[in-house]
Amino acid sequence: MGNKIFVGNLSWESTEEELNNLFAESGQVTSVKIITDKFTGQPKGFAFVEMATDAEARKAVEALNGTMLKDRALTVNEARPPKEREGRGGGGGGRGGYSGNNRPGSGSGGGRRER
């Protein structure tokens, strides 16, 4: 197990300081980050907490999964690496529409035919 923990089902009113204090009961917290929407700034309802050691992270997961915080039962487990998102960074394939000279009326490919 790594030392990075996913914390889900957070109330929008939860703060990073509250999470830090809660997880500090299980060991040394090195970072807390509540994830927010990049456009609105509203919390998305989950966070990542990083503990100093794997053992402390394991202890926190075992102790805090299902714990109530602001009337919400927290989901606490090991953070998994992000999944590869399709269409990111590379060629951007899979887009429909026209490309090159295949536009209607361009003389090659689709478009209207003269009769």
Helix axes 16-24, 54-64, angle to 10 degrees: 100
Q: What is the 3-state secondary structure (H, E, C) of 52-102?
A: CCHHHHHHHHHHHCCCEECCEECEEEECCCCCCCCCCCCCCCCCCCCCCCC
44: helix, strand or coil? strand
**pLDDT (0 to 100) of residue 74:** 98
Range in 12-21, 24-33, 75-84 the model is least confident about: 75-84
pLDDT value, residue 112: 58
Residue 4 to residue 52: CA distance in whole angstroms: 9
Is pTM beyond 0.75 here?
A: no
What's the confidence (pLDDT) of residue 51?
97
Report pLDDT for 2: 79
Q: pLDDT averaged over the chain?
A: 85
